[in-house]
Amino acid sequence: MGVGSLAQAAVAHYRAAGARPSRARPALLAVEPDTAACLLASLRAGTPVPVPTAATIMAGLNCGTVSAAAWPYLSAGLDAAVAVSDAAAGRAVADLAAAGICAGPSGAASLAGARAVLTGPGSAARRGALAMGPGPVVVLLSTEAGAAAGSPGS
C-alpha cells in the first residue's frame, strides 16, 4: 500500500464508470505492514490520519500517512484492507522464491495479505463479504523484486 498512489490507480481503473460490465466486479484488497497501517487507521476514522511507524522488512511500504490525492479513491473503492506482520511477509517471500518468483518483502506483502484474508479462522465470512466463491482468481501485484541468490545484496 505505502501512501496509496498505485492502489489509487488500480481503484480508479476497476471502479471507473462502465468498467468490466460483462464480468463480476473484482474485489480490491490493500495490504500494508502492521507497523505502518495508516490506511486501516484512516478507514476506521473515516478521514486520513497519520500513524507512527516502526521498523519493518517491508521498507517500501513503511509510510505513516495516506496520500491526500489517493484517499478519496481508496476510501470509496476498496473492498478490504489488511495489515500483515514481517513474519507473514517473510514466509511469502520464501514461498514465492520456492515457486521461482523473485520478490522482496514489500512485493510479497500482497501474498501475505491474500492469505490473511482468504484463509484461516473467519475466512468464510471474509470471502462472503468480498463476494468470493470457493475458487477465486487472485491477482497479486508485486512491485519489488528480491535479490537473486548469489547476486550482490543476497
pLDDT of residue 22: 53
State the average pLDDT over residues 17-28.
Answer: 71
Which of the two residues, 126 and 18, has the higher pLDDT score?
126
Q: What is the pTM of this model?
A: 0.86
CA 115 to chain centroid, in Å, comes to 11
Q: Are 70 and 45 in contact (CB under 8 A)?
A: no
Nearest C-alpha neighbor of 111 from the set 127, 132, 90: 90
pLDDT tens for 68-92 read 999 999 999 999 999 999 999 999 9
Mean pLDDT, range 56-67, rounded to an integer: 96
Distances (CA, A) of 138 to 21, 26, 28, 72, 116: 19, 10, 10, 25, 13
Interval 95-122: pLDDT, tens: 999 999 999 999 999 999 999 998 888 8
Q: What domains are defined for the chain?
A: 5-12+26-129 (3.40.50.1100)
